[in-house]
Structure 1
Amino acid sequence: MHYSYLLTLALIAPTHALIRFGCSQLVVDRIDPLVNPAQAPSPHLHQIIGGNSLKPDMEFGKHDLPSRSTCTTCQPSDDFSNYWTAALYFRARNGTYKRVPQKGNVGFEGQKGGMTVYYMQNQLADFQQRAKVTAFKPGFRMLIGNPTASTKAEADKYRQVTYTCLQDMNTRFPETKDFPKAPCPAGIMANLRFPTCWDGKNLDSVDHMSHMAYPNGDFERQSPCPASHPVRVPQILYEVIFETKAFNNRNDWPTDGSQPFVWSFGDRTGFGSHGDYVFGWKDDSLQKIMDEPCYVNCRTMKTQSMDAMNRCSVGAVVKEEVEGCKFSTLSPNVVQILTENRDPRASRSS
């Protein structure tokens, strides 16, 4: 389904809140405030967007992102949340590795890397968007996906974590659970859709997932939430577009015919895709948007310019080379994780 088609249909029917916006890159760093707080370096590299109050130890319940941030890389100027995924690398047949950069989505072509974020009341193609949702509360955190997943069965536990091989920038289907097996002309898009049912009590949980649940059935069919998690919250969707243009030459791909991409935690299958979220909207700004009958462009959503988004950044806490294309120029720790095809952790991490 094409984005232009979505907008055309949206114009012919009254709608409720679905917002879509771009966020530029804040930093690429080996920190993970959610799963490995205060640990720098964390087990693997992440690409992070959002408010600049980000730090390795964002103490639960005490780190108020809106009050501590002075800028955000996201288009909504009231959104100081932090969103992140692992970084992606290309491994060539000559033994070199290079980080695959991100690029802006349709409508955000001037954006500096980062990703696109959606908040939805119903599924993306539902232009009525009439389900009432409760916005997240200060201190709320969650993640989706499992970096230790190495099979489709393991990845299928997370229903809506997929990839799209972009033939052009409007391609949205088909979606796969593993990395594309052939070059993607316009890039690889990682899609991460978070669960939509909250227990209504806990802002976080030990595994950062148990306080959330999927509906009893399909989100796409507006199925009800389970009794254990009765509060319907917005569905968050990340679209992360990795610019693979420089890596689409088959002569650079491994000689054994395998696909050449590897997550920064060592996964070469793609089944370990995952994303992290820390809520940081100012005051009740998100709830007001979700209550407004609007689609993409909402009157109550304050926005900032692309230049302001691109100017906001923070320096990396872990000082190591992550952009090199040869072992000699990459951090030894980064090389170890990439080449050993595993994430060196004793327990699950993100």
Structure 2
Amino acid sequence: MRLPAVTTLGLFAQGIHGAAVLRFGCSSIVVERLDPLVNPGVNPSPHVHQIVGGNAFAASIATSDVSQIANCTTCSFVEDRSNYWTANMYFKARNGTFKRVPQIPNRYLDGEVGGMTVYYTMPYDNSKATAFKPGFRMLAGHADQRAAGGVTKYNAICFRCYNAANFGGDNQAPCSDSTVDSVTLPAKACPGGIRTTIRFPTCWDGTNTDSPDHMSHVSYPSSGTFENSGPCPSTHPVKLPQLMFEVVWDTSAFNNKADWPADGSQPFVFSQGDATGYGQHGDYVFGWEGDKLQQALDAGCFGASCSKLKTQAFSEANKCSVPKAVNEDVDGWLQAVPGQSMPMKAREFMA
């Protein structure tokens, strides 16, 4: 069923589903080739990520309580020292060079530098959800996916092609409007940029805070989706709040078709060598202080303010940093996407 034509924030703020929704911005804390979830201890890891959140981020992150390791965060809520990260998007010019696509603040989050918007949503049927526990971590999506399947069947990833500046065309819930949404990277120029949406699993086995593949301990609903209150499978009976990322990529500087590949193909590629968009993925390491996340969700908080939490201005959040650990250029015009030494088309074919 298509939802009423309102903005994403308006949809939640109006409480159409009656669900508590935390929606807040997190500035970038570092952009580099590290991945403490999939490639712990590896420096550099295979592809570039843009990371937000607490300053415990490093090549390896202890599986203990991350909120006790980090002492600041780039996110709006001071108590959230989690880390959230995604692959970066690059533009491939006709001459074969690459440039990282910058991120811009989402609607109503002025002051954020790079980064993303993070959502925690309680079940729409007003049932109870259990907040993540210390040591919890998980993945959504598969970096090597290049065709439909996997998380796409759960409506878990999509792109929105803004048809004008200032979020033009953003009048439907995420991944709900085929005129502006697609599972693959848009094949046309998007005047207002491209938004990435990544939805994480919402069912937990109730025991393990991680698994070898960082996926098996969680699950998407056994039927339907979280948005239509699909049930959890018996193997993963504990409901989680839905974690969702939104990243707004400012592609406006790259919309001149004369700069696109000569064959007219869409020119954007994720840093793991994915020009389809099916390999869009997100990583999460939980780091909320104590039971603050559970308190906020149980209190029915909406948006980026909550009586149970302390909010900081981006002027303060943007002071949080980590030392750069990988000595390489990720910005400017590059001969290759960092870590991707093989020709892009060969990598697509082999995937």
Q: Pick closer, same or farther for the CA change 1:154–1:300 going to 2, 3 Å.
A: closer
TM-score normalised per structure 1? 0.89
Q: Output one character per residue of 1:200-228: Cα deviation in whole Å (capped at 9) or x when no partner.
A: 00000111001011112221221221111
C-alpha displacement at 1:263, in angstroms? 0.7
Q: Which moved more, 1:146-155 or 1:192-201?
A: 146-155
Q: Which amino acid aligns with 2:320?
A: C
- Structure 1 counterpart of 2:35: 32
Whole-Å separation in 1 of the counterparts to 2:9 and 2:206? 36
Does residue 17 of structure 2 align to residue 19 of structure 1?
no
Aligned partner (choices 271, 281, 295) of residue 278 of structure 2: 271
* Deviation per residue, 1:66-112 (Å, 9 max, x gap): 11212100001000000000011000112221000111100112210
Contact 1:266 1:341 in 2 (8 A): no
Q: Deviations over 1:284-339 (max 9, x none)?
A: 10010111133223211211011012221222211101112132xx68x5351564
2:330 pairs with 1:322: yes
State how 1:1-350 maps to structure 2 within 5 Å.
1-3=6-8, 5-6=10-11, 9-10=14-15, 15-60=18-63, 62=64, 64-122=65-123, 130-154=126-150, 156-157=152-153, 159-167=155-163, 168-169=166-167, 171=170, 172=172, 173-174=177-178, 175-218=181-224, 219-296=226-303, 297-327=305-335, 333-336=338-341, 339=344, 342=347
Give 1:47 shift: 0.4
How many Å separate the matches in 2 of 1:238 and 1:4?
A: 14
Change (3 A) 1:338 1:159: farther
Tell me which moved more, 161-170 or 272-281: 161-170
Question: Taking structure 2 as the reference length, what is the TM-score of the superposition?
Answer: 0.89
Pairwise CA distance, 1:41? 0.5
Distance 1:144 1:8 in 2: 26
C-alpha offsets along residues 29-81 of structure 1, whole Å, 9 cap, x if unaligned? 10100010000000111000000011111133x3x321121210000100000
- Residues of 1 paired with 2:80 and 2:13: CA distance? 27
Contact 1:267 1:341 in 2 (8 A): no
Mind listing any 5+ residue stretches in structure 2 that lack a counterpart? 1-5
Question: Amino acid of the residue matched to residue 256 of structure 1?
Answer: D
Q: Is the 8 A contact 1:149 1:155 kept in 2?
A: no
> What count of residue pairs does the alignment treat as equivalent?
333
C-alpha contact (below 8 Å) 2:13/2:302 kept by paired residues: no
The aligned amino acid for 2:24 is F
Q: What amino acid is aligned across from residue 108 of structure 2 in structure 1?
A: G
Relative distance call for 1:340 and 1:237 in structure 2 (3 A) is: same
Paired residue secondary structure (1:162): strand
Letter in 2 for 1:99: R
CA distance 1:228–1:97, shift in 2 (3 Å):
same
For residue 36 of structure 1, give the secondary structure of its aligned residue in structure 2.
coil
Identity %: 47
Deviation at 1:247, TM superposition (A): 0.6
8 Å contact from structure 1 (residues 81, 279) kept in 2 = yes
- Please report how far the alpha carbon of residue 148 of structure 1 lies from its aligned counterpart in structure 2 after TM superposition: 1.1
Indicate the RMSD between aligned Cα atoms, in angstroms: 2.2
- Cα shift readout 1:238-282 (whole Å, capped 9, x = no counterpart): 001111111111111111010000111111111110000000000
CA distance in 2, matches of 1:338, 1:319: 23
Secondary structure at 1:311 match in 2:
coil
Structure 2 Cα separation of the partners of residues 7 and 16 of structure 1? 8
User: Which amino acid is the alignment partner of residue 282 of structure 1?
Assistant: E
Report the AA paired with residue 66 of structure 1. Answer: S
